Chains A and B, each alone.
Chain A
Amino acid sequence: MAEAQLPAGFEDLHRFAAKWALPTERQRNAERLASSMEEIREFYDVMAPRMDAAVEHVNQFTMDAMPAPSRRLFDLAMAFMEISHAVEVWGSPDIDDAFPADRLEFVLNY
């Protein structure tokens, strides 16, 4: 039996885990820019009402002592914040006519 991808109670988010539960900002940003608006909106619409429950769950732990399924849920919540701007601000995966995202160097590994 495969290890649960996400904590119990979050099975409805399983289908997003492989794509969006990425451990760094650089990876989550890259995934956002490589996705269609439909994919982004689908994740946004399903994840938004689940964010309170996700945060309540991960707040049981500290950042450096989180079990793997909970860490994956944390990464999904981080990805929600990343893609939220595509939905709420720009209406597209990236900013129109923007300074190229891949020229911005990420110094921290959050």
Chain B
Amino acid sequence: MDTNMTMPTGAMTLHYPDLGTEPLPISVNVDPAYFELEREHVFRKSWLNVGREEDVPNPGDYFVKHLEILETTVLVVRGQDGVIRAFHDQCKHRGNKIIRKGSGNCKFFSCGFHGWTYDTAGKLVNVPDEDQFFGLDKSKIGLTPLATDTWEGFIFVNDQPNPPESLREWLGELADQFQGWFSAGDRTLMASYMVDVKCNWKVFIDAFVEAYHAPYIHGRSVGDAFTSPENPLAHLWSARLYKRHRSISVWGTERPPSRAEEMAFRFGKKVWPAPGTVNEPLPPGINPNRHEKWAFDINLFFPNFQLGIANGYYLIYNYWPVAVDRTKMEIKLYMYKPETPGQFISQEYVRTLMRDVIREDLNTMESTQATLRSGAMTHMYLSDQEVAVRHGYKVVQRAIEGLL
């Protein structure tokens, strides 16, 4: 039951005694050797989200995604049998990339170099001039698979062909918390951006898993959606930390809409930046305490998949490390499918404001990374409100030490 005192009492960080409260070293964000450890022990050993089932709706649909962190290009394809698979986009003849980029639909993939052809289940079905080879066994040189599985419509791949944990085991407590919410409500991709930023992937994520920055970074824009006299510093409702993943519930409040916002939510449905009100059946994992003054939940699926969920929409961030000081971020907003031009115009309000508010967030990362290299500062100080930031560093370190 909400009261006028909105501050969650009790310390989030101290609820997890093994987290600690000490300042954390920043060397992990600038050290290329640590980055290589992350590549080996985090990214090569994790289930990574690469898309959604709707990206490949029909048999033969495919897309490719270059993942610098795995030093490979992943080819995701829905086979003729309807099963979604992922392969290294690499011809097993001499290693040429088969699909250069993009997406499409086909029954077979042919390498442009010498015409070697694979079907959509990765089987090598044709080698031109085959009798010129010596003991070639086509059945043994299909496309190299990555372990692939889906959860709530999200496609995950794992660089280990036989991961020690299934996707559901990996998701742990989060596996059952969303219970089909993503396939209900006809939510569809209505905004999509990509940005290439000169900062470490952890510095990037840090900026998006706390609300402490809201009154400052978003002071002119949507900061007043997360603050009020009763919660002036955007304190969180709660944080739930798990072995790898974490969730936070962000406080939110109604504020008088601007002229364009009032129009937008009259021409179409009310979504971000209006706070989520509990008027849609929510699964247990979203706003678990059913707070009324609730903006959204942020779920960070270790290592790099962020799922922000509110009433009526969800916002995906995928953070792809390229180098110790460079990260590419994909931003995807899913909301109701517009049925009328008016609803499309309504969503343009949401899409364009969200895009600009994210640019406010993006403003801190390169400047932070640039100063971290100086060595003038060795540790960062994290408040209770930044508990999700702290948890991120701890989990990465545990992964590197083999303690997960």
Binding site for B on A (CB under 8 A): 25, 29, 48, 51-52, 55-56, 58-59, 61-63, 66, 74, 77-78, 80-82, 84-85, 88-90, 95, 97-99, 101, 103-108, 110
Contact = CB atoms under 8 A, between A and B. Distances in A.
B152 interface: no
Interface stretch (B135-143, B193-201, B315-323): B193-201
B259 A48 contact: yes
Interface string B173-197: 0000000000000000111111110
B193 A106 contact: yes
Determine chain B's interface SS by DSSP, over half rule: helix
Given A90-B221, A95-B360, A104-B355, A81 B349 contact: yes
Contact of A108 (B192, B195, B260): B192
Interface residues on B, range: 35 or more
Interface stretch (B3-11, B72-80, B247-255, B339-347): B339-347
Contact of B193 (A58, A95, A104): A104
B351 interface: yes
B259 A84 contact: yes
Interface string B254-268: 000011110110010
A67 to B, nearest CB: 12
A8 B201 CA distance: 53
Contacts of B359: 95, 98-99, 101, 104
B194 A107 contact: yes
Nearest to B264: A81
Contacts of A98: 356, 359-360, 363
A80 B193 contact: no
Contacts of A62: 340-341
B342 A108 contact: no
B341 A66 contact: yes
